[in-house]
Amino acid sequence: MSRLPRHYDADLLAAGALALAAALVTVLPFPDLVRAVLLLPAALLLPGYLVAAVLFVPGSLTQAERVIYVFSFSVVFWALSGLVVQVAIGLDRGVWLALLLILTAVAVPLAQARRGGGARPRRPARPELRKLAPIPIAMAIAAVAIALASSSADSQLDRARFSSVWILPSEATTSAVRVGAENREGTDVEYRLRVSREGVGLSRWRFTLGDRETWQREIYLPPIAGRAPVVVALFRNGRLYRRAALAPEALR
Amino acid sequence: MKRRKPPRLGAAPVLGVASALGLLLVALGDDAARSASAGGEPLFWLGLILIYGPIAFRLLSTSAPRGERIGLVVLLSISLFLVKVLYSPTGFVFYDELGWWRATHDLLSTGHFTSSNPLVITTPGFPGLDLLTAPLVALGRLSIFHAGTLVIGVVRTAFMLALFLFLERATRSSRAAGIGVAVYAANPSFLYFNGQFAYESVALLIGVTLLLATIRWTESRQRLGVRSLVATMALLSATLAVTHHMTSYAIFALLVGWAVFAELDAPPQKDGARSLLYTPALPAIMLGIAASAWFAFVAGGVTINELSGQLSGAITSAFDLVLGGSGPKKPFEAGGQANGWLARLIAVVSVLTLLAAIPLGVRKVWRGARKDPLQRVLAILAILYLATLGLRLTANGTEASQRASEFVFLGLAFLVAIVIRDLRNPAKAGGRAGLGVGLTALLTVVFLGGFIVGEPPQGRQPGPFLVAAERRSVSAEGLAAAHFAGAELPPGSRILVDHANAMLMGSYGGLDPVTRKIFGVPISKVFVDPTFDPRVRRLIRRGHIDYIVVDRRLSQTPPIGGYYFTAEEPGAFSRTQPISAAALGKFAQAPGLTKIYSNGAIAIYDTSGLRR
Residues 6+ apart with CB under 8 A from B576: B558
- CB of A14 within 8 Å of any CB in chain B? no
Q: What is the mean pLDDT of residues A153-166?
A: 96
Amino acid at residue number A243: R
pLDDT at A209 over 80: yes
B241 CB within 8 Å of a chain A CB: no
Who's near B220: CB < 8 A, 6+ residues apart?
none
Give the C-alpha separation, B448 to B223, whole Å.
43
* Angstrom distance (rounded) from CA B77 to CA B190: 10
Higher pLDDT among residues B517 and A78, named by residue: A78
Q: Is A191 on the interface with B (CB under 8 A)?
A: no
pLDDT at B395: 58
The C-alpha atoms of residue B587 and residue A92 are separated, in whole angstroms, by: 43
Nearest to B209 among A72, A160, A165 (CB): A72
Given this model, what pLDDT does residue B105 score?
Answer: 96
Provide, rounded to the nearest whole percent, the portion of chain B with pLDDT above 70: 92
Tell me whether residues A229 and B128 touch, CB distance under 8 A: no
* pLDDT at A1 > cutoff 50: no
How many CB atoms lie under 10 A from the CB of residue B435?
A: 16
Measure CB to CB from residue A90 to each of B27, B110, B205 and give the nearest one.
Answer: B110
Which residues of chain A neighbour B2 with C-beta distances below 8 Å? Answer: 122-123
SS3 state at B605: strand
Q: Is B592 on the interface with A (CB under 8 A)?
A: yes
Q: What is the mean pLDDT of residues A162-183?
A: 93
pTM beyond 0.90: yes
B480 in the Ramachandran plot: left (φ > 0), alpha (ψ -120 to 50) or beta? alpha
Using only the alpha carbons of chain B, give its radius of gyration.
26
Query: Chain A 194-223, CB below 8 Å of chain B: which residues?
Result: none
Digit-coded pLDDT (tens) for B275-311:
778 899 999 999 999 999 999 999 999 999 888 876 7
Which DSSP helix (H) or strand (E) runs through B494? strand B494-496
The distance of A223 to chain B (nearest Cα, Å) reads 18
For residue A237, count CB atoms less than 10 angstroms from its CB and return exposed for 0-12, middle for 13-18, buried for 19 or more: exposed
Closest-CA distance, A102 to chain B, in angstroms, reads 15
Pairing of strands B517-518, A200-209: unpaired
Q: Classify residue A226 as left (phi > 0), alpha (psi -120 to 50) or beta.
A: left
Which residues on adjacent β-strands are paired with residue B494? B512
Residue B521 host element (H or E)? strand B521-522
Best of A11, A72, A78, A150 to disrupt the B interface (most B CBs within 10 Å) is A72
CA closest to B473 among chain A residues: A157
Q: Is the pLDDT of residue B272 over 50?
A: yes
B30, B87 Cβ separation under 8 angstroms: yes
Q: For residue range B443-485, what is the model confidence (pLDDT) as tens digits?
A: 999 999 999 999 999 999 999 999 999 999 999 999 999 999 9
pLDDT number for residue B284: 97
CA atoms within 13 A on the CB side of B19: 29
Q: What percentage of residues in chain A have a pLDDT greater than 90?
A: 68
List, as one string, the DSSP characters of B549-596.
Answer: EEEGGGGTSS-TTS-SS-TTSTTTTT--SPPPHHHHHGGGG-TT-EEE
Of A30-34, B128-132, B196-200, B547-551, the one with minimum mean pLDDT is A30-34
Say if residue B328's pLDDT is above 70. Answer: no
Q: How far apart are CA B326 and CA B322, in angstroms?
A: 8
Judged against a pLDDT cut of 70, whether residue B97 lies above it is answered with: yes
pLDDT tier, B595 (very low <50, low <70, confident <90, very high otherwise): very high
Sequence-ordered strand ranges (E) for B326-383: 333-334, 337-338
3-state SS, one letter per residue, for chain A = CCCCCCCCCHHHHHHHHHHHHHHHHHHCCCCHHHHHHHHHHHHHCHHHHHHHHHHCCCCCCCHHHHHHHHHHHHHHHHHHHHHHHHHHCCCCHHHHHHHHHHHHHHHHHHHHHHHCCCCCCCECCCCCHHHHCHHHHHHHHHHHHHHHHHHHHHHHHHCCCEEEEEEEECCCCCCEEEEEEEEECCCCEEEEEEEEECCEEEEEEEEEECCCCEEEEEEECCCCCCCCCEEEEEEECCEEEEEEEECHHHHC
Residue B532, classed as helix, strand or coil, is coil
CA distances to A201, B74, B603 from B53, in Å: 69, 15, 48
CA closest to A243 among chain B residues:
B598
On whether the CB atoms of residues B90 and A154 are closer than 8 A, the answer is: yes
pLDDT of residue B424: 85
Query: Does an H or E element contain B248, and which?
Result: helix B245-265
Helix (H) or strand (E) holding B517: strand B517-518
What mean pLDDT do residues B112-131 have? 90
pLDDT in tens, B33-63: 999 998 999 999 999 999 999 999 999 999 9
CB distance B158–A68 less than 8 Å? Answer: yes
Nearest Cα residue to B120 out of B153, B139, B159, B92: B92
Asked if A67's CB is within 8 angstroms of B242's CB, the reply is: no
What pLDDT does residue A249 have? 80
Chain B positions in Cβ-Cβ contact with residue A137 (cut-off 8 Å):
17, 20
* Helices A32-44 and A46-55: angle between axes, nearest 10 degrees: 30
Tens digit of pLDDT for each residue in B143-171?
A: 999 999 999 999 999 999 999 999 999 99
d(CA B195, CA B406): 12
pLDDT for B432: 84
- What residue of B is the nearest CA neighbor of A132? B13
Between CA B44 and CA B526 the distance in angstroms is: 41
**Mutate which: A37, A39, A68, A165, vs B, most B CBs within 10 A:** A68
Is B520 or B496 the better-scoring residue by pLDDT?
Answer: B496
Interface of A with B in 29-48 (CB under 8 A): 32, 35-36, 39-40, 42-44
Residue B530 in 3-state DSSP?
Answer: coil
pLDDT in the model for residue B3? 59
A226 in reach of chain B (CB within 8 A): no
Query: What is the mean pLDDT of the segment spanning A210-214?
Result: 95
Gap between the Cα atoms of B36 and B174, Å rounded: 44
pLDDT at residue B156, as a whole number: 97
Residue of B nearest to A139 (CA): B20
The model's confidence at residue A132, banded by pLDDT at 50, 70 and 90, is confident
* Mean pLDDT score of chain B: 91
Three-class SS of residue B244? coil
Q: Which residues contact B193 (CB under 8 A, 6 or more apart)?
A: B402, B454
Mean pLDDT of A48-68: 94
Q: What is the pLDDT of residue B208?
A: 98
pLDDT tens per residue across span B4-17: 566 678 889 999 99
* B225·A139 Cβ contact <8 A: no
CB A174 within 8 A of CB A185: no
**Alpha-carbon span B476 to A161, nearest angstrom:** 9
Q: What's the average model confidence in pLDDT over A8-32?
A: 89
Q: How confident is the model at residue B331 (pLDDT cuts 50, 70, 90)?
A: low
Among residues B151, B28, B163, B18, the alpha carbon closest in space to that of B81 is found at: B151
B436 vs A136, B72, B552, CA distance in Å? 29, 17, 54
pLDDT at res. B319 = 61
